[in-house]
Amino acid sequence: MKFGAVPSAQALGGILAHSLQVGGRRWKKGRVLNAADLEALAAAGIDQVVVARLEADELGEDAAAERLAHALAGDGIEVGAAFTGRCNLYARSRGLAVLDRQALQWINRLDESLTVATLPAHTPVEPGQMLATVKVIPFGVAQATVDAAVQQAGAAPLRVAAFRPRRVALIMTRLPQTAPALLEKTARVVRQRLEPLGGELIAVRDCPHREEPLGEQIAEALRAGAELVLVFGASAIVDRRDVIPAALLRAGGEVLRLGMPVDPGNLLMLGRHGTVPVIGLPGCARSPKLNGADWVLHRLFADLPVDAAAIADMGIGGLLQDIPSRPHPRERDPAPAQRARVAGLVLAAGSSTRMGQANKLLQPWRGEALVRHAVRAVAESGAAPVFLVVGHQADAVARAVADLPVVIVCNPHHAEGLSSSLKAGIRALPDEVDGVLVALGDMPRIDPQDLGRLQAAFNPTEGRVICIPTCQGKRGNPVLLGRQLFADLLRLEGDRGARDLIRKHEELVAEVAVESSGVLLDVDTPAALEQLRQDAAEPVA
């Protein structure tokens, strides 16, 4: 890759290496400079810029990141769109993050240009949670380097082992001094621990803390169809000849390991009866706080092997208490990093005066009304839920999209202008969304993949609150707006959209280059409609 300062007049096609203020606008690094940009630089008196230029054997940062991310992703993982050399991997389902440490270490040691960061192995993840990110450091990477990394990835070293529902029996032993309230609390905590994993408590029983009655209860739980048996002793297990291990042997089972190198959780017993795991839980598991029993349960519900060796290997990282960085029990754990939740909003309430007597949104193109193309593109981009604001000829517009996954919002004040439809849509959004992708119903050629790139770029915590597509250096639509701007959007008036608001918050803007010119094309006149049909080689209806 060529990198360095060049005269602005010679920067055509170069990748801007550093953000730059040009004529009152901030150009972000990564911008590919075109002829109009060179004129703007000259007008601003900027005679030199630092640019990068890829060699013929190099891949751009986004292409390299996305290719490696797809090679890494195994079962249960969704790959996001690449942006600024970063491509994130997300969990599709609730489960455990499973990784091939050796393969990932090899890739990170291969070349400083490629980096892969992951959650720790066997971290529980939720649907939509980010579990890894690929970041390409320079603007381009040698094709051979990416090829080597992809080859090393082999059979996808990252996957999510989904939790599988299991039928669970809980048996608690008691001594004369055992309080009933303790048994009730224990059952409640166990139920809370199992529910996120998909565990169903089919039996909750108690018996005297003696070998014979406990052995009978274990056998009864197995006959009842338990796929996992949990045993809480009134007294801790301190030897293989103690009550709980002996009761398991009496019932025909075996003890695989007593004790684990995880604290809290040292006094856990791992056993089995046939193929059914039987776990003697440590006393610390009466508390909802993380302990070694959780690590064992997570793996069992994810159908990962749990044997004596697996327990022994948990010692590295197994000190779960007295860590300064660990939240105190009453502190709320921070929420896991997740993909931003983006809703779709298609504005289709206008009276279409420039089209004449016909409603532009209902005009046919490729066998369907124009508005259907816009709604479908937004829905296929991953934005959800999708809302369609209707007003003029509301019933007809709604019928045109009746079979698509869209929520209809009626704007009775549509004659007041574009801002009224935008506000109606914003008011309809659910509280949990982080942003909204605002599209126009008369843009039939927008590409779902381009809209996905906008969503990949959207990151309010990193300052990318407004994401705008650009094609050949020109800004287009749809635009993605973060929740922090919703209050300002609700104050808009007249026949104006968010353009002035965007201009006011230029520092929050991320321009996302796309190849499709559909982001620049709206069809609001008969001439534009005729040109659209001619470009598609379709006869005018």
Name the residue with higher pLDDT: 368 or 23: 368
Q: What local confidence, expressed as pLDDT, does residue 496 receive?
A: 78
Nearest to 226 by CA among 209, 249, 203: 203
Q: Is the Cβ–Cβ distance between 33 and 11 less than 8 Å?
A: yes
Can you give the residue range of the structural domain that contains 32? 2-53
Q: Which amino acid is at 420?
A: S
At residue 537 the predicted structure's pLDDT band, cuts being 50, 70 and 90, is low
CB contact burial 167-191 (16+ within 10 A = b; e otherwise): bbbbbbbbeeebeeeebeebbebbe
Tell me whether residue 322 is in a domain.
Answer: no
Domain-located, residue 541: no
What CATH number is attached to the domain comprising 259? 3.40.980.10
Instruction: Kindly report, residue by residue over 482-504, the tens digit of the pLDDT.
Output: 999 999 999 999 887 888 899 88
Whether 347 maps to a domain, the answer reads yes
151 and 115 both lie in a single domain: yes
pLDDT at residue 52 in the model: 96
With the C-alpha atoms ordered 327, 329, 330, 332, is the resulting torsion angle positive or negative? positive
- Residue at token pair 């002996």: 246
Could you tell me if 402 and 308 lie in one domain? no
Are 155 and 74 contacting, i.e. CB atoms less than 8 angstroms apart?
yes
49 and 131 fall within a common domain: no
pLDDT tens-digit profile of 130-171? 999 999 999 999 999 999 999 999 889 999 999 999 999 999
How far apart are the C-alpha atoms of 236 and 68, rounded to whole Å? 49
Query: Considering 126, 145, 161, which residue would you say is the last residue of a domain?
Result: 161
Residue 334: pLDDT over 60: no
pTM of the model: 0.82
User: Which pLDDT belongs to residue 538?
Assistant: 44
- Grade residue 322 by pLDDT with cuts at 50, 70 and 90: low
Average pLDDT of 3-8?
96
Tell me, yes or no, whether 336 lies in a domain: no
Examine the pLDDT at 198 and tell me if it is beyond 70.
yes
Q: Using pLDDT thresholds of 50, 70 and 90, give the confidence band for residue 336.
A: low
Residue where one domain finishes, among candidates 128, 146, 161: 161
- Residue 393 maps to a domain: yes
| CATH code of residue 87 | 3.90.1170.30
- Indicate the SS3 state at residue 266: coil
Percentage of residues of the chain with pLDDT beyond 70: 96
- Nearest Cα neighbor of 7 from 43, 52, 49 is 49
Q: Is residue 332 part of a domain?
A: no
Question: What is the C-alpha to C-alpha distance for residues 68 and 114, in angstroms, rounded to an integer?
Answer: 9
Question: Which of residues 315, 332, 365 is at a domain's end?
Answer: 315
| pLDDT (tens digit per residue) in 432-456 | 999 999 999 999 999 999 999 999 9
Residues 210 and 117 in one domain: no
Residue 323 has pLDDT above 70, yes or no: no
For residues 399 and 517, membership in a common domain is answered with yes
